[in-house]
Amino acid sequence: MSSASKPYILDLENVLYSYEKDSPFIHDLSFSIPEGGFIGLLGANGSGKSTILKLACGILKPLSGRIKLWGRDLLAQNSRDRAKLISYLPQTLDISVPFTVKELVSMGLYPYDIPPALSVDEALDMVGLRDKADARLTDLSGGERRRTFICMTLVQGAGLLLLDEPLANLDIKYQIELVKLLKNLRELRNIAVIMALHDINMALQFENVILIKDGNLIGSGRPDEVLSQRILKQAFDVDVEVRRSASQGIYISYDNNFAERRS
């Protein structure tokens, strides 16, 4: 990732991973994430986005290669110490459990014997959920639930947040709200974010993007530099049009795929 001045907090070096023997799924993957980076991890279904995030937080162990977190080998770190540095939110969050917002957010304190600087109430204020502290998760909207889980990671105090498709199943209002919240937290607390996502236009909101195809990195860098018609065709196997407007930068249209039906 491009960041000349900031130190790297996550380094993947030649990582290889396989779910089945003799059939590598992630091939020789290398990239680095700087402190406070805001990264969109983009790729088609089954391209390896979730696997990469699970490797990056130690749920999966690479067959070869190294993963370093703040310069230290990820797998050599004690699991509680690691939890203070990195937080992972899975794609499917079970919200059928009747925990209250405050109970869930307080779980962010579990890796600590002495509570960190940010209190649960302060974190709830930051995500705008103070008045819902005693509400049950099951009674919240989809956007509020995601915010609750983000709030828990704030209390956890991790400097790197890995989010696996948090925008899935959210309507556009909540998608915008969540991305704005994450940008805000990045400004306030210098938290780096890697978010797996499908929406190509939403990826434009990120500082950098990483494009994955069949477990291979096929592009990385600033969205306006990386997201070309050619590379998006390669990643998603669909023809798109990258349009540029003077005021708002680029946006991506896939209208041309429906042209036949319109005529």
Partner 1 sequence: MRIFILVFVALFIFCCALFLGPQIIAPGPLSTIEREILFSIRLPRVLVAMLMGMALGASGAVLQGILRNPLADPYILGISSGASLTAALGIIGGMSFLGSFTVPVLAFVGALVTGGIVGMMGWKRGGLWPERLLLAGVGLSFLFSALLMLMMSISTDEGLRRAMLWIFGDLSMSEWSRIPWGLAFVVIGIVLSATRARALNALILGDEFAHSLGFSPQRERFILFVSVGLLTAASVSLGGMIGFIGLLIPHIMRFFMGSDSRMLIPASALGGGSLLCIADLVSRSVLPPMELPAGVVTAIIGAPYFLYLLRKKDVLSI
Site string for partner 1, 130-159 (x = CB under 8 A): --------x-----------------x---
Our CA dihedral for 190, 194, 195, 200, rounded to 10 degrees, sits at 100
Nearer to partner 1 by C-beta: 160 or 203?
160
Nearer to partner 1 by C-beta: 192 or 240?
192
Q: Which of 138, 133, 147, 209 is nearest to 178 (CA)?
A: 147
- Please tell me whether residue 251 binds partner 1 under the rule CB under 8 A: no
Nearer to partner 1 by C-beta: 116 or 221?
116
What's the min distance (Å) between Cβ of 81 and partner 1? 8
Residue pair 194/163 in contact (Cβ under 8 Å)? The answer is yes
Exposure on the CB side of residue 45, measured as CA atoms within 13 A: 1
Nearer to partner 1 by C-beta: 107 or 231?
107
Q: Which stretch binds partner 1 (CB under 8 A): 92-100, 118-126, 174-182, 232-240?
A: 92-100
Among 96, 245, 247, 248, binds partner 1 (CB under 8 A): 96
Q: Which stretch binds partner 1 (CB under 8 A): 56-64, 116-124, 170-178, 185-193?
A: 56-64
Taking the C-alpha atoms of residue 140 and residue 150, their distance in angstroms, rounded to an integer, is 14
262's enclosing H/E stretch is helix 259-262
89's enclosing H/E stretch is strand 86-89
